[in-house]
Structures are given as C-alpha cells and as structure tokens.
Chains A and B, each alone.
Chain A
Amino acid sequence: MELHQKPTMKVAIYSGTIPATTFVEHLIRGLAEQGIEVYIFGKVKKPYRYESKHVHVFPVPEGKLALVRFVLKSLVKVLLTAPQLLAVVRKILQQGKERSFTEKITYLGRILPVMLHPPDIFHIQWVKAIDDFMWLKTELNKKVVVSLRGAHINYSPLADPELAAKFRHFFPDVDVFHGVSRAIVKEAEKYNLDPVKAVVINPAVDEKLLLQVPKTNFKARPLQILSVGRFHWKKGYDIALDALNIAKGKGVDFIYTIIAGGNYEEILFQVNSLGLQENVKIIEGLPHHEVLQFMRTSDVFLLPSVEEGIANVVLEAMGNGIPVISTDCGGMAEVLVNRKNGLLVPVRDPDAIAAAVIEFTELSDASISKMIEEARETIRTNHVLSNQIASFMALYTQVIAPISNG
C-alpha cells in the first residue's frame, strides 16, 4: 500500500484523437486542475500542450512501419509487466477474425497502451469505439463510462443495423452513461441503455463570457444573422437558406453569415440557385476567440440544425448576449423556452424559421434585452464550466466508490 494522503484517481478520457473537441479538452484540463490523473490515448492530429503534470499523454505513432514497431515493443512490455493480459490480446484478436493484418495492427496500437497504463475509469467519448475497450470491464474489472454523442446515438445506428446491434450488446455492461441532454438519454434507451445508469450533465461555457456587457441595439439594416458550425447536413444550412429565401420574399433585408469549415459545394450551389449571393457570406476557419468576437457584431444567432446533442455554440451566443433562434432538435428545448430566452421553432420547417426571423425584427429593443437577460440567466444557472467539472468529479467518485470502500 502506497502512502498517499488520498488515493489519486486515474481517469482515461478517450476520443481517439489528440487534441479532442473543445468540450473534451475543457474536461481534461478541468479534471487535471482538480488533481485527477488524466490519461489520454490516441492519434496526434495537431500539436498540443498541457500545462498540468497530471495530464499523461500516450500517443500512437503514425505510419505503418512505426506502428508495427510500436506494437511489437508494447507486446514485449505487456509480456514482462502483465503477462496475464496476453490472453486477453489473443482473445480479442480471435473475436475479430475478419480483420485484415493492417486493421489488427491498428487495433493493437489502440489498445496496448491502455493495457500498459490501465486507468481506474475509462471514459469513452467516441461511442462507436465501445467494442474496442469493453475488455477493461470484463477482463480487468475497471469502470467504463460512456458519453452519448449526438451523431453516434441520434442517427448513425438508424442507418447502420450492425452498429445498433453493437450498442445493444455492450450498453448493459457500461457502468455509467453521461448524456448532454435528457433527449439523448431517451434516444439511447432504444439500444438497451438502462436509464438508472444515466447522468445528464449540462454542457457548459466559460463564465467569463457573462462578464461582457450585452449589446443593446439589434436593429441593424440589413439584419445581421449568424450561424456557426461545420458544413454538415445535420447543421441544416440548406433549410436555413430556404427559410431566408422566404423571408427575403417577405421583405426582410439581411446578411446571413456562416462561419464554418468543410466542403460547402451544396450550400454554395443553393445560394446561387436561390439568387442569394448578395445576402450570404461564408467565412472559413475562424479561430474560436474570433468567432466569439464576431458574434457580438451580429443581431441574431440562428441554429437551423436537424440534429444536435445540445449545441455549445448556442450556449456561447446566449452567454455572449446574442439573441437566438433555434430549431428544437435534440436537447435544445431543454435550454430554450420559446419567447422567454430565445425563439424555438420546429425542425425541418423553413416557413417557421422565416416567421421567427420576421417576428424577431418586430420585437422592441426592450423585449429583446429582456430575452437576452433571461438567456444569460439560463447560462449562469445551468451551463457554466466550473459546475460542469464538479459534476464530472461527482460522477467519477460515485462510479469508483464501491472499489475504494473495498
């Protein structure tokens, strides 16, 4: 028994890539600040830097040759330090007989570092990879926490019956699920998620946003409408353009700015075929802090998505003091109450978005300011980062509790 004052908890946050999404990076740093030993596994996609000595990164090398060498070295290490795990390796490889050699090597590259540095809790952010790591639970009796992400739960398994079967098979073995909304937990119940094991932790934004003095004039001509989020069908930009085309026909003068990355051939084609070239601006690859600044020059933020967990960018707009029009996709209705702290419209309904834009232009500055204050209050109460980290700490403590009690 080591003579620590209190046993430190080792938590692996797995999303497959280093660095991960903004949300996961916040989580990693927040946990490390609380003294948790955070393990990160995966492929390095961009340079990264963690100030805290509590963050431990175990990267998987790129390139086939380097990977093979890495796998062989790791196998030897496993043989020397934890020979009983080789049986697990063999078992896993036998299960995946249909995998090619390259796939097997890639797979081993993914799991061997975890075998050499097993955490107390393995937190999977990339649900589709659930089958790669459930041996931690079944063979080593470690705890597995799974975060439910929008796409992985809301639509991928609908179109892919094998994925749905995989979820149904593995979900009963998971210790705790983390959902960003009640809606996504409900959706995951289709795949054998036991609601008793699910904890909803609200996504959150930096409370520093709330220190800003909100703007008071929202009646720019033309009206400045903003959307932020990568070009992907789930973001519903096609629906937004149809909606704004309707609004234009009803006399609304606007500039619609989309800040996004990715392939936007479809959207560009639609802008041209609707004749909205003068009304739509696309800005590619703006860094996050500049996005927040740009937001403050907009009159209204639009989320036209057909699918989201809870869109962080809406929380940022709300905290930033920008009025929001959003579809009620995913968990958005758990954040927004129509006409109270924003405008909420049905999904896939261009007429409804157009009507909401027109309604917005007809609101008085006073009622917009009131709406913004309500929105900021929502963020202050439910969606600040410090609360989020505390919630995750509580979740991990609760998961691990049976072990430390012996």
Chain B
Amino acid sequence: MDKQKIGLVLPNAPGFSETFFNSKIQGLQDAGFEVMLFVNSKGTATARCEVVKAYKVHSNNPPLQFIKILLVFFKLMFSAPQSLLRFIRLERKDGISWKRVVENVYINAHILSFKLKWLHFGFVTMALRSENVARAMGARMAVSFRGYDISVYPIKHPNCYHKLWPKVDKVHTISDDLYQLALRQGLPPQVPVVKITPAIDVQTFSQVRKNTPIAMPLQILSVARLHWKKGFEYGLSAMAILKQRGVAFQYTIVGTGMDHERLVFAANQLGIIDQVKFLGRKTSAEVAALMATADIYLQPSVQEGFCNAVLEAQAAGCICVVSDAEGLSENVLHSRSGFVVPKRDPAAIADTIASISQKHHVEIQHMREFAVNRVAQEFDIKQQMRKFTDFYNS
C-alpha cells in the first residue's frame, strides 16, 4: 500500500530555525507519513520533503496571465480531471462567479493535481479561496489556528471564514484562547479540535543549570520581531518607570523588523537609550547563550498565539514576565512558572520586575525549577511530534 500523504499549505517553506514546522514534518515522516509542502514562495529554506510552489500570478500582464491560465487548465484536464470538475462544481454551488472560479482554479492548481489523505492549512488565512480544494481532491481538510489569523485578520475582514467553517474536518489550535475566539467567529462547536501547543527542543536551552542569585543591574531580555503586536513600546515605558524608581537594569532586545525606528526613537525619548541594547538578528545558539545569562525575560505582547521564545526562556531558567495576550497566560502559569500581567500596562510590568529583584533567592530558585520541569514535561518537541501523528491517525 502507498504511504499516506499529508499536504501542508504554508506561505513559504520553513526556514532552518523554524522548529515548529521542521519538527512536525520530521515527526510525521518518522511515523510513516509522506509529507508535501504547498507554498507561495520557496525562499531560501532547504526543506526535508517535496515542495510545490503555487503558479505565479501576473496581475500586471493580462495576456501572459491568460496564456498561463489556459496552460494550467489544460494540464489539470489531463492530470486530475475529476478533481478539477469537482472543484468547479463545488465553487459554483457556493455561488462564486465564473471569473472568480477560474482565478481560484489557477491559484489552487498546484495542489489539485495530487492525491492526499489530508490537506492541512498552516494558518487559517491560507485556506481563504481554497475552501473547496480538499473536498475536490477527496482529501480531509485541517486548519491551524496560530494567532494573527484568528485574532487580528477577522477584525478587518468580518465573516471572512463563514464559507470555510462548514468544510473543515478538523481543527488544530495552539491555545485554548484562540479556539474560544474562533467559536465566537462562528466555528461550529461540533468540528473536532485538538490543542497542540508549540514545543521546543528543551535540551538546547537547559544546558546551563541556572542557580545564581539575581544581582543588580537586572539583566532583562526580549526576543521578538520588532512589530506592534509585540508591545515593545509598553515594555520600554515600563523600563522608564523602573529607571525613575532607581532600579538598575540592562534591557536587551533581540530581533529585527519594521518598528526598529519607532523603538529606537522611543528608547531615546524615554531617556533610557543607555540602558537598552538593540542587538538585531541573532542565531538560535546566540539566543540560547543570551537566555543563559539573563535574569528576567520580558514578553510585553498585545497579541500572541503562544510564543516559543517564552518557552525557551523558561527552559533556560529565566524568570518570565509576560502579558496576558491570548496564549501567553497558558504558556506561563502566573506566580508559579513566571508572572502574567495585564497587557498594555507598563506600570504593572515595572511593579512585577521591581518585586522580582526583591524576592528571596530560594523563592526565585523554586520558580525556576518549576518552570524548567514544566516545560520539559509538557512542551518538549518529542511529545509534540507524537500528538501530530495522532492528529492525522484518529
């Protein structure tokens, strides 16, 4: 018998450092599945499985687009006539105009010619305009809830998933919070759901057993894209409050992104630029080394699916201070494995950090050990691989 095939639909092939997808693919392959990736751009990544790229859309060149549509239809008529016909029929049944159906065939053509057991959209947004693809090819359809797709995108596009929900066979969510949000957006409660949180390779981050007392100046670390979702301005305002109160600290921010100017300016205007370092991009080994020496890890996000960096920081023995944005309060258990504060609240961040510096070493050590053990038990990558195998088997 043929191996069972799973197709993952992603914006681009996962880069080397994207543990989540790479380990998921590896785990499924080890469990005997054949895995394929469907992407919009291959990027520079070296995937460990077959990668199929979507046909390029030539919106600036109508004649070329027309010719390519003809070619793609011709190809599909020979390679997967039944899937093509079924897809067109399903789309028309949904009341989609002929023009739009032709477009949708074109943008899904790279998927339609395969035979799969599961077609899994890695972000719900990836399934828009592909709602009928799985059914047309006789596959089951899964979608993942990952954060932005459920908590931000639908605000600007209300009801965007209404056509999608009835066609989903199974949902993967990375946090309970996101699943609740999706229910509020019309996901039928009878659709089976499995929560599989992100996971990390605990080994990489817990090599150094941290047991030194917290000393001044406090070493505070954040690792994230410089993007509004990460709430860095609130974090920086909190640092300004700490400085005002005379708490000595050094705040290190790792990451690049469109908000670089915004944050450097904020640190200057808040008068804390001498206490804040922007390190830019770092490799995961370098991040692990920084986490090994940091006292406190801060995640001030206003929107966050779950956050791998916070898992890594806990494994590295950092005391984590995180906002309560979506999955973060499931990631860190308040006052047990770290501290959860209300989002958009610099004073709460500052109070919490100041109180950590006052805590007795025994208490700190207790929290560190609890966090390290909990991450090792509940968030290790091997366990996540098993859960994904079950996801497709049951």
A residues lining the B interface (CB < 8 Å):
154-156, 158-160, 233-234, 238, 242, 265-266, 268-270, 272-274, 306-307, 347-348
Q: Are A233 and B268 in contact (CB under 8 A)?
A: no
Pick the contact of B261: A155, A269, A270, A272 (CB < 8 A). Answer: A155
Complex CA distance for A156 and B151, rounded to whole angstroms:
32
A–B complex contacts, Cβ < 8 Å, 24 sampled: A154-B265, A155-B261, A155-B265, A155-B268, A158-B261, A158-B265, A159-B261, A159-B264, A159-B265, A160-B261, A233-B262, A234-B265, A265-B152, A266-B228, A268-B155, A269-B302, A269-B303, A273-B302, A274-B344, A306-B269, A307-B265, A307-B269, A348-B269, A348-B270
Complex CA distance for A104 and B237, rounded to whole angstroms:
43
Contact A265-B156, Cβ < 8 Å, known A159-B260, A242-B344, A270-B302: yes
B308 to chain A, nearest CB (A): 21
Contacts of A307 in B (CB 8 A): 265, 269
A331 to chain B, nearest CB (A): 15
Q: Which residues in window 92-149 of B have CB below 8 A to A? A: none
Q: Tell whether B259 is near chain A: CB-to-CB under 8 Å.
A: yes
Complex CA distance for A270 and B303, rounded to whole angstroms:
10
Contacts of A348 in B (CB 8 A): 237, 266, 269-270
Contacts of B152 in A (CB 8 A): 265, 269
Contacts of B380 in A (CB 8 A): none
Which of A154, A156, A273, A306 has most chain B Cβ within 10 Å?
A273
Contacts of B259 in A (CB 8 A): 233
Question: Taking chain B's interface residues, is the majority helix, strand, or loop, or is none over half, making it mixed?
Answer: helix
Complex CA distance for A307 and B261, rounded to whole angstroms:
12
B96 to chain A, nearest CB (A): 27
Contacts of A273 in B (CB 8 A): 302-303, 343
Complex CA distance for A347 and B240, rounded to whole angstroms:
13
Complex CA distance for A233 and B237, rounded to whole angstroms:
15
Which of B155, B270, B302 has most chain A Cβ within 10 Å?
B155
Q: Are B156 and A268 in contact (CB under 8 A)?
A: yes
Closest to B273 in A: A158
Contacts of B156 in A (CB 8 A): 265, 268
A305 to chain B, nearest CB (A): 11
Q: Tell whether B295 is near chain A: CB-to-CB under 8 Å.
A: no
Complex CA distance for A156 and B261, rounded to whole angstroms:
6
Q: Which residues in window 231-258 of B have CB below 8 A to A? A: 233, 237
Closest to B344 in A: A242
Contacts of B233 in A (CB 8 A): 238
Complex CA distance for A88 and B156, rounded to whole angstroms:
52
Complex CA distance for A306 and B156, rounded to whole angstroms:
26
Question: Taking chain A's interface residues, is the majority helix, strand, or loop, or is none over half, making it mixed?
Answer: helix
B173 to chain A, nearest CB (A): 19
- Nearest 8 A/B pairs, CB to CB: A155-B265, A159-B264, A159-B261, A266-B228, A233-B262, A272-B155, A158-B264, A269-B152
Name 7 extra pairs, CB < 8 A, besides A154-B265, A268-B156: A155-B262, A159-B261, A159-B264, A233-B262, A266-B228, A269-B155, A272-B155
Closest to B227 in A: A266
Closest to A272 in B: B155
Q: Which residues in window 157-179 of B have CB below 8 A to A? A: none
A263 to chain B, nearest CB (A): 10
Contact A306-B302, Cβ < 8 Å, known A265-B156, A268-B155: no
Q: Are A155 and B270 in contact (CB under 8 A)?
A: no
A369 to chain B, nearest CB (A): 34
Closest to A154 in B: B265
Complex CA distance for A348 and B271, rounded to whole angstroms:
12
A158 to chain B, nearest CB (A): 5
Contacts of B303 in A (CB 8 A): 269, 273
Complex CA distance for A270 and B151, rounded to whole angstroms:
11
Q: Are A306 and B266 in contact (CB under 8 A)?
A: yes
Contacts of A270 in B (CB 8 A): 302
Contacts of B262 in A (CB 8 A): 155, 233-234
A245 to chain B, nearest CB (A): 9
B300 to chain A, nearest CB (A): 13
B152 to chain A, nearest CB (A): 5
Complex CA distance for A307 and B155, rounded to whole angstroms:
28
B150 to chain A, nearest CB (A): 12
B209 to chain A, nearest CB (A): 38
Complex CA distance for A233 and B151, rounded to whole angstroms:
21
Contacts of A274 in B (CB 8 A): 344
Closest to A263 in B: B156
**Chain B 329-354 interface 0/1 with A at a Cβ cutoff of 8 Å (1 = within):** 00000000000000110000000000
Contacts of B269 in A (CB 8 A): 306-307, 347-348
B170 to chain A, nearest CB (A): 28
A62 to chain B, nearest CB (A): 14
Contacts of B265 in A (CB 8 A): 154-155, 158-159, 234, 306-307
Contacts of A265 in B (CB 8 A): 152, 156
Contacts of A156 in B (CB 8 A): 261
A161 to chain B, nearest CB (A): 11
**Chain B 296-308 interface 0/1 with A at a Cβ cutoff of 8 Å (1 = within):** 0000001100000
Contacts of B261 in A (CB 8 A): 155-156, 158-160
Closest to A306 in B: B269
Contacts of A160 in B (CB 8 A): 261
Complex CA distance for A156 and B156, rounded to whole angstroms:
30
Contacts of A242 in B (CB 8 A): 344
Complex CA distance for A272 and B152, rounded to whole angstroms:
9
